[in-house]
Protein backbone atom coordinates (compact mmCIF):
# COMPACT_ATOMS: atom_id res chain seq x y z
CA UNK A 1 0.00 0.00 0.00
CA UNK A 2 1.01 3.59 -0.76
CA UNK A 3 2.84 4.92 2.38
CA UNK A 4 0.54 7.94 2.65
CA UNK A 5 -2.51 5.68 2.65
CA UNK A 6 -0.85 3.52 5.34
CA UNK A 7 -0.19 6.58 7.47
CA UNK A 8 -3.84 7.64 7.15
CA UNK A 9 -5.02 4.12 8.08
CA UNK A 10 -2.81 4.12 11.22
CA UNK A 11 -3.89 7.62 12.27
CA UNK A 12 -7.53 6.74 11.70
CA UNK A 13 -7.32 3.69 14.00
CA UNK A 14 -5.29 5.53 16.63
CA UNK A 15 -7.75 8.42 16.79
CA UNK A 16 -10.94 6.39 16.16
CA UNK A 17 -11.76 8.69 13.29
CA UNK A 18 -14.01 8.18 10.29
CA UNK A 19 -13.47 9.60 6.79
CA UNK A 20 -16.61 10.62 4.89
CA UNK A 21 -16.16 11.53 1.22
CA UNK A 22 -18.40 12.96 -1.47
CA UNK A 23 -18.41 11.28 -4.92
CA UNK A 24 -16.82 14.43 -6.42
CA UNK A 25 -13.46 14.30 -4.52
CA UNK A 26 -10.39 12.79 -6.29
CA UNK A 27 -10.37 9.01 -6.88
CA UNK A 28 -7.52 8.24 -4.45
CA UNK A 29 -9.46 10.00 -1.67
CA UNK A 30 -12.63 8.02 -2.48
CA UNK A 31 -10.46 4.86 -2.27
CA UNK A 32 -9.49 5.40 1.38
CA UNK A 33 -12.86 6.75 2.62
CA UNK A 34 -14.98 4.78 5.10
CA UNK A 35 -18.18 6.12 3.53
CA UNK A 36 -18.57 7.55 0.04
CA UNK A 37 -21.88 9.08 -0.90
CA UNK A 38 -23.97 11.98 -2.08
CA UNK A 39 -25.00 14.80 0.23
CA UNK A 40 -28.06 12.98 1.66
CA UNK A 41 -26.24 9.74 2.41
CA UNK A 42 -23.34 11.61 4.00
CA UNK A 43 -25.56 13.74 6.23
CA UNK A 44 -27.22 10.54 7.52
CA UNK A 45 -23.80 8.87 7.95
CA UNK A 46 -22.52 11.92 9.87
CA UNK A 47 -25.51 11.66 12.20
CA UNK A 48 -25.15 7.91 12.76
CA UNK A 49 -21.39 7.50 13.25
CA UNK A 50 -19.94 6.59 16.68
CA UNK A 51 -16.53 8.02 15.77
CA UNK A 52 -15.38 11.01 17.81
CA UNK A 53 -13.51 12.58 14.89
CA UNK A 54 -15.09 13.03 11.46
CA UNK A 55 -12.81 13.98 8.57
CA UNK A 56 -15.07 15.40 5.89
CA UNK A 57 -13.55 15.00 2.44
CA UNK A 58 -15.73 17.59 0.73
CA UNK A 59 -16.45 21.31 0.69
CA UNK A 60 -17.11 23.58 3.67
CA UNK A 61 -20.94 23.42 3.74
CA UNK A 62 -20.60 19.63 4.11
CA UNK A 63 -18.24 19.97 7.08
CA UNK A 64 -20.59 22.54 8.64
CA UNK A 65 -23.58 20.25 8.14
CA UNK A 66 -21.75 17.34 9.81
CA UNK A 67 -20.85 19.62 12.75
CA UNK A 68 -24.43 20.93 13.07
CA UNK A 69 -25.73 17.34 13.30
CA UNK A 70 -22.92 16.37 15.73
CA UNK A 71 -22.12 19.41 17.86
CA UNK A 72 -20.21 17.25 20.37
CA UNK A 73 -17.84 15.74 17.80
CA UNK A 74 -14.70 17.05 16.19
CA UNK A 75 -15.22 17.67 12.46
CA UNK A 76 -12.10 18.33 10.39
CA UNK A 77 -11.94 19.72 6.86
CA UNK A 78 -8.81 18.68 4.93
CA UNK A 79 -8.88 22.00 3.05
CA UNK A 80 -11.00 24.72 4.67
CA UNK A 81 -10.72 26.89 1.54
CA UNK A 82 -12.69 24.25 -0.43
CA UNK A 83 -15.95 26.15 -0.70
CA UNK A 84 -19.08 25.86 -2.85
CA UNK A 85 -19.90 29.02 -4.81
CA UNK A 86 -23.62 28.18 -4.81
CA UNK A 87 -23.71 27.88 -1.01
CA UNK A 88 -23.63 31.69 -0.78
CA UNK A 89 -26.11 32.49 -3.56
CA UNK A 90 -29.17 33.61 -1.58
CA UNK A 91 -29.90 36.90 0.13
CA UNK A 92 -31.39 36.97 3.66
CA UNK A 93 -33.06 40.31 2.84
CA UNK A 94 -34.87 38.76 -0.12
CA UNK A 95 -35.95 35.81 2.07
CA UNK A 96 -37.39 38.24 4.62
CA UNK A 97 -39.24 40.18 1.89
CA UNK A 98 -40.70 36.96 0.47
CA UNK A 99 -41.94 35.93 3.93
CA UNK A 100 -43.61 39.31 4.41
CA UNK A 101 -45.41 39.15 1.04
CA UNK A 102 -46.37 35.46 1.46
CA UNK A 103 -47.02 34.78 5.16
CA UNK A 104 -47.69 31.04 4.64
CA UNK A 105 -44.51 30.50 2.67
CA UNK A 106 -42.06 27.71 3.55
CA UNK A 107 -38.41 28.48 2.86
CA UNK A 108 -36.81 25.30 1.51
CA UNK A 109 -33.03 25.38 1.55
CA UNK A 110 -30.84 23.06 -0.50
CA UNK A 111 -28.20 21.59 1.83
CA UNK A 112 -25.58 23.14 -0.53
CA UNK A 113 -25.79 26.40 1.45
CA UNK A 114 -23.98 28.11 4.30
CA UNK A 115 -25.00 27.38 7.90
CA UNK A 116 -26.21 30.99 8.11
CA UNK A 117 -28.59 30.57 5.15
CA UNK A 118 -29.99 27.41 6.75
CA UNK A 119 -31.03 29.48 9.80
CA UNK A 120 -33.52 31.42 7.63
CA UNK A 121 -35.17 28.27 6.33
CA UNK A 122 -37.98 25.98 7.47
CA UNK A 123 -36.44 22.80 6.11
CA UNK A 124 -33.35 21.63 4.24
CA UNK A 125 -33.34 19.26 1.27
CA UNK A 126 -30.73 17.43 -0.78
CA UNK A 127 -31.11 16.66 -4.46
CA UNK A 128 -32.03 13.07 -3.50
CA UNK A 129 -34.99 14.02 -1.29
CA UNK A 130 -36.12 17.51 -2.46
CA UNK A 131 -39.27 16.29 -4.27
CA UNK A 132 -40.32 14.05 -1.36
CA UNK A 133 -39.74 16.75 1.28
CA UNK A 134 -41.51 19.52 -0.68
CA UNK A 135 -44.51 17.20 -1.26
CA UNK A 136 -44.64 16.37 2.46
CA UNK A 137 -44.70 20.02 3.60
CA UNK A 138 -48.13 21.40 4.57
CA UNK A 139 -47.36 24.75 2.84
CA UNK A 140 -48.66 25.44 -0.66
CA UNK A 141 -46.16 28.24 -1.32
CA UNK A 142 -42.44 27.48 -1.32
CA UNK A 143 -39.38 29.71 -1.71
CA UNK A 144 -36.62 27.39 -2.93
CA UNK A 145 -33.05 28.59 -2.23
CA UNK A 146 -30.31 28.82 -3.44
CA UNK A 147 -30.39 26.65 -6.64
CA UNK A 148 -32.84 27.82 -9.30
CA UNK A 149 -32.30 24.71 -11.42
CA UNK A 150 -33.05 22.20 -8.65
CA UNK A 151 -35.95 24.50 -7.68
CA UNK A 152 -37.47 24.30 -11.15
CA UNK A 153 -36.89 20.52 -11.29
CA UNK A 154 -38.91 20.24 -8.05
CA UNK A 155 -41.59 22.64 -9.42
CA UNK A 156 -41.99 20.35 -12.44
CA UNK A 157 -42.47 17.28 -10.21
CA UNK A 158 -44.75 18.99 -7.69
CA UNK A 159 -47.16 21.05 -9.86
CA UNK A 160 -49.73 21.30 -7.05
CA UNK A 161 -47.49 23.80 -5.20
CA UNK A 162 -46.36 27.29 -6.13
CA UNK A 163 -42.57 27.34 -6.07
CA UNK A 164 -40.79 30.68 -6.18
CA UNK A 165 -37.28 30.42 -7.56
CA UNK A 166 -34.10 32.12 -6.40
CA UNK A 167 -31.32 32.95 -8.85
CA UNK A 168 -28.43 30.81 -7.51
CA UNK A 169 -26.77 28.00 -9.45
CA UNK A 170 -23.88 25.54 -9.34
CA UNK A 171 -21.23 26.84 -11.75
CA UNK A 172 -20.21 23.28 -12.69
CA UNK A 173 -23.67 22.03 -13.71
CA UNK A 174 -24.97 25.40 -14.95
CA UNK A 175 -22.24 25.42 -17.64
CA UNK A 176 -23.66 22.34 -19.39
CA UNK A 177 -25.80 23.53 -22.32
CA UNK A 178 -28.46 21.85 -24.51
CA UNK A 179 -26.01 22.20 -27.44
CA UNK A 180 -23.44 20.20 -25.45
CA UNK A 181 -26.02 17.44 -24.98
CA UNK A 182 -26.95 17.45 -28.69
CA UNK A 183 -23.27 17.26 -29.69
CA UNK A 184 -22.57 14.46 -27.24
CA UNK A 185 -25.65 12.51 -28.40
CA UNK A 186 -24.58 12.92 -32.03
CA UNK A 187 -21.09 11.65 -31.18
CA UNK A 188 -22.46 8.68 -29.16
CA UNK A 189 -25.87 7.86 -30.65
CA UNK A 190 -26.25 4.62 -28.66
CA UNK A 191 -25.68 6.27 -25.29
CA UNK A 192 -28.37 7.22 -22.74
CA UNK A 193 -27.97 10.66 -21.17
CA UNK A 194 -28.22 10.82 -17.35
CA UNK A 195 -27.93 14.25 -15.71
CA UNK A 196 -28.11 15.97 -12.32
CA UNK A 197 -31.05 18.36 -11.65
CA UNK A 198 -28.52 21.14 -10.89
CA UNK A 199 -28.24 21.31 -14.71
CA UNK A 200 -30.36 23.86 -16.61
CA UNK A 201 -33.99 22.83 -17.32
CA UNK A 202 -33.33 22.55 -21.09
CA UNK A 203 -30.56 20.03 -20.37
CA UNK A 204 -32.81 18.04 -18.02
CA UNK A 205 -35.52 18.07 -20.73
CA UNK A 206 -33.12 16.44 -23.22
CA UNK A 207 -31.97 13.75 -20.80
CA UNK A 208 -33.16 10.16 -20.40
CA UNK A 209 -32.91 10.40 -16.60
CA UNK A 210 -32.39 13.26 -14.12
CA UNK A 211 -31.57 12.65 -10.48
CA UNK A 212 -29.11 13.15 -7.63
CA UNK A 213 -25.60 11.71 -7.81
CA UNK A 214 -26.72 8.52 -6.04
CA UNK A 215 -29.83 8.48 -8.26
CA UNK A 216 -27.62 8.47 -11.36
CA UNK A 217 -25.47 5.66 -9.91
CA UNK A 218 -28.57 3.54 -9.19
CA UNK A 219 -30.21 4.31 -12.53
CA UNK A 220 -27.07 3.22 -14.42
CA UNK A 221 -26.98 -0.05 -12.49
CA UNK A 222 -30.65 -0.76 -13.26
CA UNK A 223 -30.36 0.10 -16.95
CA UNK A 224 -29.75 -2.50 -19.65
CA UNK A 225 -27.96 0.11 -21.80
CA UNK A 226 -24.22 -0.30 -22.32
CA UNK A 227 -23.19 3.31 -22.93
CA UNK A 228 -23.95 6.51 -21.02
CA UNK A 229 -23.47 10.27 -21.27
CA UNK A 230 -23.06 11.65 -17.76
CA UNK A 231 -24.10 15.22 -16.92
CA UNK A 232 -22.65 15.74 -13.48
CA UNK A 233 -19.25 16.24 -11.83
CA UNK A 234 -16.51 13.98 -13.25
CA UNK A 235 -15.66 12.39 -9.86
CA UNK A 236 -18.76 10.18 -10.09
CA UNK A 237 -17.04 8.20 -12.90
CA UNK A 238 -14.89 6.47 -10.25
CA UNK A 239 -17.94 4.77 -8.68
CA UNK A 240 -19.70 4.22 -12.03
CA UNK A 241 -16.69 2.46 -13.56
CA UNK A 242 -15.98 0.43 -10.41
CA UNK A 243 -19.58 -0.86 -10.27
CA UNK A 244 -20.05 -1.35 -14.03
CA UNK A 245 -16.79 -2.53 -15.61
CA UNK A 246 -18.63 -3.64 -18.77
CA UNK A 247 -20.36 -0.29 -19.39
CA UNK A 248 -18.95 2.76 -21.21
CA UNK A 249 -19.17 6.28 -19.81
CA UNK A 250 -18.59 9.70 -21.41
CA UNK A 251 -18.99 13.09 -19.79
CA UNK A 252 -21.34 15.41 -21.70
CA UNK A 253 -18.49 17.99 -21.74
CA UNK A 254 -14.82 17.72 -20.70
CA UNK A 255 -15.25 20.64 -18.24
CA UNK A 256 -17.40 19.03 -15.58
CA UNK A 257 -14.94 19.56 -12.75
CA UNK A 258 -15.54 21.14 -9.34
CA UNK A 259 -12.08 22.52 -8.49
CA UNK A 260 -13.06 23.01 -4.86
CA UNK A 261 -13.85 19.30 -4.45
CA UNK A 262 -10.49 18.52 -6.09
CA UNK A 263 -8.66 20.54 -3.41
CA UNK A 264 -9.13 17.57 -1.06
CA UNK A 265 -5.96 15.46 -1.26
CA UNK A 266 -4.48 12.50 0.66
CA UNK A 267 -1.69 14.76 2.02
CA UNK A 268 -4.24 17.22 3.45
CA UNK A 269 -6.25 14.36 4.98
CA UNK A 270 -3.09 12.97 6.64
CA UNK A 271 -2.11 16.41 7.94
CA UNK A 272 -5.48 17.38 9.39
CA UNK A 273 -5.87 13.96 11.03
CA UNK A 274 -2.33 14.00 12.48
CA UNK A 275 -2.58 17.60 13.78
CA UNK A 276 -6.34 17.61 14.40
CA UNK A 277 -6.30 20.89 12.51
CA UNK A 278 -8.90 22.76 10.44
CA UNK A 279 -11.64 22.01 12.93
CA UNK A 280 -15.08 23.24 11.84
CA UNK A 281 -16.79 25.63 14.28
CA UNK A 282 -20.38 26.79 13.92
CA UNK A 283 -21.60 29.42 16.42
CA UNK A 284 -24.09 27.84 18.86
CA UNK A 285 -27.05 30.06 17.93
CA UNK A 286 -26.53 29.42 14.21
CA UNK A 287 -26.05 25.71 14.80
CA UNK A 288 -29.27 25.31 16.84
CA UNK A 289 -31.43 27.04 14.21
CA UNK A 290 -29.78 25.29 11.26
CA UNK A 291 -30.10 21.91 13.06
CA UNK A 292 -33.90 22.32 13.19
CA UNK A 293 -34.08 22.66 9.39
CA UNK A 294 -31.73 19.70 8.90
CA UNK A 295 -33.47 17.43 11.45
CA UNK A 296 -36.81 18.24 9.82
CA UNK A 297 -35.38 17.12 6.48
CA UNK A 298 -34.18 13.83 7.97
CA UNK A 299 -37.66 13.31 9.47
CA UNK A 300 -39.65 14.17 6.30
CA UNK A 301 -37.32 12.19 4.03
CA UNK A 302 -37.72 8.91 6.00
P1 LIG B 1 -25.77 15.61 -4.46
O2 LIG B 1 -24.68 15.10 -3.62
O3 LIG B 1 -27.02 15.83 -3.65
O4 LIG B 1 -26.03 14.81 -5.69
O5 LIG B 1 -25.37 17.10 -4.91
C6 LIG B 1 -24.42 17.33 -5.85
C7 LIG B 1 -23.48 18.39 -5.49
O8 LIG B 1 -23.28 19.32 -6.22
C9 LIG B 1 -22.74 18.27 -4.25
O10 LIG B 1 -21.91 19.35 -4.12
FE1 LIG C 1 -20.95 23.45 -5.16
FE2 LIG C 1 -21.37 22.68 -7.64
FE3 LIG C 1 -19.02 22.13 -6.51
FE4 LIG C 1 -21.27 20.86 -5.72
S5 LIG C 1 -20.29 20.72 -7.72
S6 LIG C 1 -19.68 21.76 -4.40
S7 LIG C 1 -22.80 22.47 -5.95
S8 LIG C 1 -19.84 24.18 -6.96
C-alpha span between 63 and 75 (Å, rounded): 7
User: Which residue's alpha carbon is at the smallest distance from atom 5 of ligand 2?
Assistant: 258
Q: Report the CATH number of the 3-83+261-281 domain.
A: 3.40.50.10800
Do domains 3-83+261-281 and 176-251 share one topology? The answer is yes
Atom of ligand 2 nearest to the CA of 147: 7
CA of residue 172 to ligand 2 center, whole Å: 7
Q: Which residues pair with 193 in a beta bridge?
A: 229
Of all ligands present, the nearest one to the C-alpha of 169 is 2
Of all ligands present, the nearest one to the C-alpha of 84 is 2
CA of residue 14 to ligand 1 center, whole Å: 31
Q: In tens digits, what is the pLDDT along the chain, a chain of 302 residues?
A: 689 999 999 999 999 999 999 999 999 999 999 999 998 889 889 889 999 999 999 999 999 999 999 899 999 999 999 999 999 999 999 999 999 999 999 999 999 999 999 999 999 999 999 999 999 999 999 999 999 999 999 999 999 999 999 999 999 999 999 999 999 999 999 999 999 999 999 999 999 999 999 999 999 999 999 999 999 999 999 999 999 999 999 999 999 999 999 999 999 999 999 999 999 999 999 999 999 999 999 999 98
Domain ranges for the chain: 3-83+261-281, 86-169+288-300, 176-251
User: Which residue's alpha carbon is at the smallest distance from atom 10 of ligand 1?
Assistant: 112
Query: Does ligand 2 come within 6 angstroms of the Cβ of 111?
Result: no
CATH class of the 86-169+288-300 domain in this structure: alpha beta
CATH of 176-251, one of 3.40.50.2300, 3.20.20.140, 3.40.190.10, 3.40.50.10800: 3.40.50.10800
Q: What is the pTM of this model?
A: 0.96
Atom of ligand 1 nearest to the CA of 173: 8
Query: Does ligand 2 come within 6 angstroms of the Cβ of 258?
Result: yes
Of all ligands present, the nearest one to the C-alpha of 196 is 1
Amino acid sequence: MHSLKREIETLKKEKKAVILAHYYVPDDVQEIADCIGDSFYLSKAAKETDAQIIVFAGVSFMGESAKILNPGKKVLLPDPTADCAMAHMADPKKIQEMKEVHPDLAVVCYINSTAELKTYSDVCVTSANAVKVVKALPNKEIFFIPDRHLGSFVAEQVPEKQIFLNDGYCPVHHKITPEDVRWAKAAHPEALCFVHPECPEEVVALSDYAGSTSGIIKAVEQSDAKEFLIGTEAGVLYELKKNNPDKIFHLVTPEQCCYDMKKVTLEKIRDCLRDESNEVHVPEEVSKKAAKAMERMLELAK
